[in-house]
Amino acid sequence: MKVLVVNAGSSSLKYQLFDTSDNSVIAKGNCERIGIDGRITHKMSGRDDYKADLPMYNHTEAVKVLIATLTSPEVGCIADMSEIEAVGHRIVHGGAYFSQSMLVNDDVVAKLRLCNDFAPLHTGPHLMGIDGCTEAMPGTPQVLVFDTAFHQTMPDYAWMYPISYDMYEKYGIRRYGAHGTSHRYVAGEMCRILGRTEGTKIITCHLGNGSSISAVKDGRVIDTSMGFTPLDGVEMGTRCGSIDPAIVPFIMEREGFTPQRMSEYMNKECGLAGVSGLSSDCRDLDDAVKAGNERAKLAVDILTYQIKKYIGSYTAAMNGLDALVFTAGIGENRDEIRAAACADMDFFGIKLDAEINAKTRLQSDIVKISAADSKVPVYVIPTNEELVIANDTAAIVGAMKK
């Protein structure tokens, strides 16, 4: 089945066209500057990238440009849009409404609207992306795949915060988690390698600009580091992660910050960038550490220490560990961060093969980076959220057609 995967952001719409019969990517690209002027970059293997400035004043126009590009005799890859049998959308937040991927209908869209409180920056663009596809491809079924869905299996004592219960009831304040589609993909791959799902205890570390760590038991999430919002958990590129909550009113008072300014501060001015005063990107920090920059070292040390603590606490929560997985930009490419997070973990049975770990960067294959005598196998598994979205969409639409 040819499935178009759409990831709608505030001013962009990324896409990938999959053939799910062999999971190949036929084409992919990005519509940018939506609402400003409009630019499309379209990529197909074996061809030069196609770039064009075309007006896209909203997401509907972006979808029209995207369809015109996919069907163009010069740069396209399909004869006409009826070849696209379904559309799968990446949705950042599904609240507690969605524990699995859903076919778009009025009820599903109404519930998605209610998620706007939890993800105000993303929900609007998602709705516009759905509307854009409905208008440009009426009759083509659409499926929503939620970043929060995989975490809905957490027990209540893991998702409930120790705040008064009425706040949870009034506002839905609880742990929802994020990056669920990525955790689901790499945990699934890990279960495939282990040869079983039931009885497995896996920790998945999705470490990128935003980072989250999950404990996955029997193929189901029992805890995850991101919380009510993607600000919780470990130190990130520009996000502070978990801090003493008393710091929030303290800084607001001393600095005269409004709630909005404080939120901006914690999301954009903290983390690796804030501590180092240099950069949110580990590549820059690595160079600075090598040049003897103490604050760059401190920023990285905080992150690796926190990863180590999550591995320890989730191993305790599951009473064991069968495999540890690293994924995303840092997890797949930063060997020194993996090495530091796994150093001195022999008590937990974790030991890396220093040589294999050091050369595991920029690869598209799964690599086992643990030493032969490590009790717990450690893997780098490149994530593929778009593939999960394409496969969920094909499965739901395929079942509907039967």
Catalytic residue positions, numbered:
147
Where does this chain touch ligand ADP (CB under 6 A) — which range of 48-56, 180-188, 288-296, 326-334? 326-334
- Residue facing ligand ADP at closest CB distance: 329
261 or 361, CB closer to ligand ADP?
361
135 or 281, CB closer to ligand ADP?
281
209 binds ligand ADP (CB under 6 A): yes
Least separation in angstroms between CB 171 and ligand ADP: 27
Where does this chain touch ligand ADP (CB under 6 A) — which range of 4-12, 222-230, 289-297, 322-330? 322-330
75 or 207, CB closer to ligand ADP?
207
335 or 392, CB closer to ligand ADP?
335
**Angle in degrees, CA 3, 186, 23, rounded to 5:** 25
147 or 322, CB closer to ligand ADP?
147
Where does this chain touch ligand ADP (CB under 6 A) — which range of 77-85, 93-101, 330-338, 366-374? 330-338
Least separation in angstroms between CB 241 and ligand ADP: 14
| One residue of 51, 113, 261, 283 binding ligand ADP per CB under 6 A | 283
Least separation in angstroms between CB 279 and ligand ADP: 8
208 binds ligand ADP (CB under 6 A): yes
Q: Which two tokens stand for residue 230?
A: 């993607």
Those residues with Cβ within 8 angstroms of residue 30's Cβ, 6 or more apart along the chain or in another chain: 12, 13, 14, 15, 40, 41
| One residue of 94, 95, 271, 329 binding ligand ADP per CB under 6 A | 329
122 binds ligand ADP (CB under 6 A): no
| One residue of 3, 40, 44, 330 binding ligand ADP per CB under 6 A | 330
Tell me which amino acid residue 233 is.
G
Would you say 236 and 271 are in contact if contact means Cβ atoms under 8 Å apart? yes
Kindly state the number of chain residues that form the binding site for ligand ADP, as judged by CB under 6 A.
14
Least separation in angstroms between CB 213 and ligand ADP: 14
| One residue of 102, 108, 307, 328 binding ligand ADP per CB under 6 A | 328
290 or 361, CB closer to ligand ADP?
361
Where does this chain touch ligand ADP (CB under 6 A) — which range of 60-68, 152-160, 277-285, 390-398? 277-285
Binding mask 332-371 for ligand ADP (x = CB under 6 A): -xx--------------------------xx---------
3-state secondary structure the chain: CEEEEEEECCCCEEEEEEECCCCEEEEEEEEECCCCCCEEEEECCCCCCEEEECCCCCHHHHHHHHHHHHCCCCCCCCCCHHHCCEEEEEECCCCCCCCCCEECCHHHHHHHHHHHHCCHHHHHHHHHHHHHHHHHCCCCCEEEEECCHHHHHCCHHHHCCCCCHHHHHHHCCCCCCCCHHHHHHHHHHHHHHHCCCCCCEEEEEEECCCEEEEEEECCEEEEECCCCCCCCCCCCCCCCCCCCCCHHHHHHHHHCCCHHHHHHHHHHCCHHHHHHCCCCCHHHHHHHHHCCCHHHHHHHHHHHHHHHHHHHHHHHHHCCCCEEEEEHHHHHHCHHHHHHHHCCCHHHCCCECHHHHHHCCCCCCCEECECCCCCCCEEECCCCHHHHHHHHHHHHHHHHHC
- Which residue shows structure tokens 């930063």? 334
Least separation in angstroms between CB 161 and ligand ADP: 24
Least separation in angstroms between CB 238 and ligand ADP: 10
> Could you list the residues that contact ligand ADP (CB under 6 A)?
208-210, 237, 281-283, 328-330, 333-334, 361-362
